Amino acid sequence: MSYINDALRKLQKEKNTRYVAYDNIVSATGKKSEPSQKWLSIIGILIVCLFVAGMIVFLYGNKDKKVSAMQRINAPPVAPTVLAEPEQIKKVESKQLKTKVTVITKQKIAESKAFFTQALQKQREGKLEEAKSLYKKVIKIDPQNIQALNNLGVIYMSKKTYKWAIIRFNDAINIKHNYTDAHYNLACLYAQKNDVPQSLSYLKNAIAFNPEVRKWAKNDGDLKVLGNLSEFKKLMEKQ
């Protein structure tokens, strides 16, 4: 009996000795330890890996940003590209052309006025050739200047160059049909040529456009050939 008890105690002792190395895994009750310890270890490892990966990305990312910044600093500035459409180009060119034309026109108008003033002064002084030359400059700049055309016609008429005088007076009338001065001067010109019908015709036109012409005609020596005509007298009467 004592032999059996000794054997049982020996077995029990061996059993206890065999499980000492596994005490941290198996509990005293024989059950496995809680799984939370394993998961904590795994999570810790993952956190370390993520931290290392984050540091790598951060360091390389900053390096790329520095390179990019250096490129922007060292590269020459480039203006933003804006492609103008054909219509936009036309508008810009048209605007520039109009501005240029406007400047030229203002300059030419100023020159024209200056030449006209000089020509008129020369004409009044009897320096007809100088006046004629200046009037031609005015007309070259401004072909529509009816005053210059009319005054140039007067110079031709005073020189008995009737052909050119008629051309200039008619040029003025073609620009402005009711231009009284040109009609009246043609009446005087045709009176000088003893062309009474033509003279009376233009005189009627002049009076119709401006009744004040009667005062000019009464004392104008160029119209003396018409003085004794009843038709002329009727024209001189106020209607």
Report pLDDT digits (tens) over 54-73.
666 555 555 444 433 333 33
Place of tokens 């007309």: 139
Confidence of residue 43 (pLDDT cuts 50, 70, 90): confident
Lowest-confidence pick of 17-26, 89-98, 155-164 = 17-26
Domain boundaries in the chain?
21-71
Q: Which phi-psi region, left, alpha or beta, contains residue 126 (left: φ > 0; alpha: ψ -120 to 50)?
A: left
Say what the pTM is. 0.58
Region of poorest pLDDT, from 43-52, 96-105, 184-193, 194-203? 96-105
Model confidence pLDDT, tens digit, residues 130-146 = 999 999 999 999 999 99
Query: What residues contact 154, with CB distance under 8 A and at least 6 apart?
Result: 123, 165, 185
* DSSP calls for 61-129: HHHHHHHHHHHHHHSPP-PPP-PPPHHHHHHHHHHHHHHHHHHHHHHHHHHHHHHHHHHHHHHHTT-HH
Q: pLDDT band for position 163 (50/70/90)?
A: very high
pLDDT attached to residue 10: 56
Region 151-173: mean pLDDT is: 96
d(CA 122, CA 193): 27
Give the model confidence (pLDDT) of 171-180 as tens digits. Answer: 999 999 999 9
Query: Residue 160 pLDDT > 90, yes or no?
Result: yes
Interatomic CA distance for residues 217 and 199, integer angstroms:
12
